[in-house]
Amino acid sequence: MKRPILVILVVQFLLGVVYAASTPPFEASDEVWHFPVVRELATTGRLPVQIPGVKTPWAQEGSQPPLYYAVGAALTGWINTSDFDRQAEPNPFAKLGVPGTADNINLVRHHPDQRPWQGGALSAVYLIRLLSILMATGTVYATYRLAGTAFPRRPRLALLAAALAAFNPMYLFISASVNNDNLAILMTSVALWLLIADLMSATPSPRWRSTILLGIVMSMAALSKLSGAVLLPVSALVVTISAWRQRSWRAWLLRGATLVAIVLTLTGWWFARNLNLYGELFGINRMSIIAGPRPAGFHLANLWSERLGFWYSYWGVFGGFNILAPHWYLVLVSVLAGLAVVGLALLLGRGLTGRRRLDWSVHATLLLFLVLSLAGVVNWTLKTMASQGRLMFGGIAPISLYLALGLLAWVPVRWRRAAVAATAVFLAAAAAFIAFTAITPSYRPPRPIAALPAGVRPLDIWFGDSIHLVGYSAGNAAVTAGQPIDVTLYWTSPQPPAEDANLALNGYGYQGENVAKIDTWPGGGLLPTSQWAAGALYPDSYRLVTLPNANAPTTVGLNVGFWQGSLDHWLPIRQDGKDTTFVILPVSDLVAPAGAAKSPETAPLATFDKGIRLRSYEARQEGGTLHLRLNWDTTAPVGTDYTVFVHLDDSGGNVVAQADSPPRGGSWPTSRWRQGEAVPSDTDIALPAGLPAGEYKLRVGLYTPADGARLPANDPNGQPWQDYAVVLGPLTLAAP
């Protein structure tokens, strides 16, 4: 084997080990369901039977063809995996399928003592992961041989294609997991290599050795994953082209019959089993029912909205589809893919390969495979939530070949050796960087610290007798609605509770609106209270994403609470030595988006000192209540908190009803007002019983609550309002 491809294969294997070490057990895509299929085969010798509505540890993955799981069972059957339930205990707050989430990335609980070599289910998982990595190494080699067979005079092209497959972070992630995709990808890649070699061969048909080998490999692909079945029509095309070239339909019949006989002999039992159990050859409908079907009315046009997630997940969406590769990397590979597409167009324009035209049959074979694979993925994705680009990894060999072909179209021949080497080194380094900076930290629980950092607000709040909140910090003075509020809580416990306590964080804004919410185990799901060390001080950081349509502006207070078991069992709270039922920690100001927050360009009804302006008002009566909205803004920082008074006067100037309160019920005091920001404030005025119908006026103003001194107010002409009370109305009211 030539040294460059050997280097690529060794680095790919080592990176696979890095990804396996970076991803805790059962955190890779669907691994928590794939492994139980292996375990079922190893412990009972039987394949799962899928029954909708019956909860099983393998979920929809029990519908998959059995070859990968049988190999895994043969490899690990000697290991006692009875601790699987403990090692795979679900995180009840896991945010599966939420790319970029800042908490509850982990799908399962991870114990502090878990190690790959400890035996039990974990050792079985890591052993199968190593096997999967070796399968991926075989896939990379098959990609290299496929490209070299199709383009025998372009060794740099084959190396670049191999590097693009080997150092794709998403493929490294999948290859370092228990997942039947790994054997399916290997078998389809080898089958495509054999098919292209058949097209390029000058040996007369029927080529018994290659035909039998191809039949076995295709059967293994179909027994690994249903997507492997797309090789059947592709092989039919190759056999037909070969027979047409030799004008030998006898060879076509013999080869075709041989391939069909081998595939039916090796795989027919599986499809017969599906037909017998589920009434369908492939079992895909039963699988989609268990996985969870799409809502009624979901069509191909709706699928287009998921294109970005599909594209990203070909390159880097890890964990339970909730860890994103860095944005710069996703942009970079998108640019490279765009350059490759343009490069392919340039090649097509000048005859694909310049001096030597590649046989059209090679492109027809590879493109037919890719089209059929994409059609299968689209069909499956229309049935259930599965818009993941990684499902196209069955075609990673031809995809990488075409990417390499398009990219090298931009590079002069004399620079290609250096360009391929530099690209391979960069891709490998980027893959390693992503493992260490995106994946590994996502599963690292908070580590104890010696003391509260400077600037932390000290607290003395107990939840039950064992959970002590000793401080907190908030990282945002103000955020726009829809953006996150950063909060860090500091916990300690003299004796951690034996039963996990669940943490509830609720951000409350204007009129008690719940503008942000997280339910979790502490540590963002990674540090359940039963795993705390006695006396340790833990920093626990959260990003509470606020509602984009939250009623703003407002201050936000964070309510902190714990419950155990059911939601009717909240731990009692003691703050500063006194029992309480509710804890609110001021954390941030929440402001409206720029467009919504801007005050309208109209003349104000009144201008107060310190720049405060009353822009407009709205009033409506509802029975015995007068609902009033006052729309304020300011031209400068106010710096002082004022209270709004509202008097309802009859025609004789007598006050018949009134309401005094801070603006927006105290959730947005005037000291927080920002220049040019619209501040709508609602006030309800209770109308007295027996109030006669007629015309009334409102008088509105501001005063300091400490001494009742009113803030001077002027009318639009600059003249002071009498008693610094702005007159609004008249209002025609009905008798309440």
**CATH label of the domain that carries residue 679:** 2.60.40.2060
Q: Is residue 306 part of a domain?
A: yes
Considering the domain boundaries, does residue 210 fall inside one?
A: no
Asked if 491 and 497 count as a contact pair (C-beta separation under 8 A), the reply is: no
Provide mean pLDDT across the span 129-133: 98
Query: Of 92-96, 150-154, 198-202, 357-361, where does mean pLDDT reach its minimum?
Result: 357-361
C-alpha 586, offset from chain centre: 29
Residue 51 belongs to a domain: yes
Q: Are 677 and 566 in contact (CB under 8 A)?
A: no
Q: How many angstroms separate the CA atoms of 133 and 145, rounded?
A: 19
Q: How many residues does the chain have?
A: 736
Residue 293 within a domain: no
Domain boundary among 595, 618, 636: 595
Region 279-299 average pLDDT? 90
Percent of the chain with pLDDT over 90: 89
Question: Does the structure show a pLDDT above 80 at 596?
Answer: no
Residues 160 and 15 in one domain: yes
| 120 and 28 in a common domain | yes
End of a domain among 540, 567, 595? 595
Does pLDDT of 106 surpass 60? yes
Does position 278 have pLDDT exceeding 60, yes or no?
yes
Residue type, 392: M
pLDDT: which is higher, 246 or 540: 540
Residues 470 and 611 grouped into a single domain? no
Q: Are 151 and 144 in contact (CB under 8 A)?
A: no
CA distance 561 to 504: 5
**Same domain, yes or no, for 347 and 493?**
no
* CATH value at residue 472: 2.60.40.10
Contact 192, 199 (CB under 8 A): no
Buried b (16+ CB within 10 A) or exposed e, 316-337: bbbbbbbbbbeeebbebbeebb
167 and 46 in one domain? yes
Residues 542 and 626 both lie in one domain: no
Q: What are the tokens at 546?
A: 């606020």
Domain shared by 610 and 516, yes or no:
no
In a domain, 232, yes or no: no
- Examine the domain organization and report whether 652 and 536 are in the same domain: no
The answer on 367 and 461 residing in a single domain is no
Q: How far apart are CA 580 and CA 578, in angstroms?
A: 6
107 secondary structure, DSSP code: S
Q: Residue 696 is which amino acid?
A: Y
Average pLDDT over residues 434-451: 97
**Dihedral, CA of residue 299, residue 304, residue 307 and residue 308, to nearest 10:** -120
Q: Which domain holds residue 367?
A: 3-179+298-439
Same domain, 353 and 412: yes
Question: What's the pLDDT at 600?
Answer: 66
Cis bond before residue 730 (omega within 30° of 0) = yes
Query: Which of 386, 411, 439 finishes a domain?
Result: 439
Q: With 70 as the cut, is the pLDDT of residue 156 above it?
A: yes
385 and 462 assigned to the same domain: no
Using pLDDT thresholds of 50, 70 and 90, give the confidence band for residue 21.
Answer: very high
Which residues, 6 or more positions from 706, have their beta carbon under 8 angstroms from its beta carbon? none
The amino acid at 590: L
Q: Total domain count for the chain?
A: 3
Are 349 and 401 part of one and the same domain?
Answer: yes
Residue pLDDT, tens place only, 69-78: 999 999 999 9
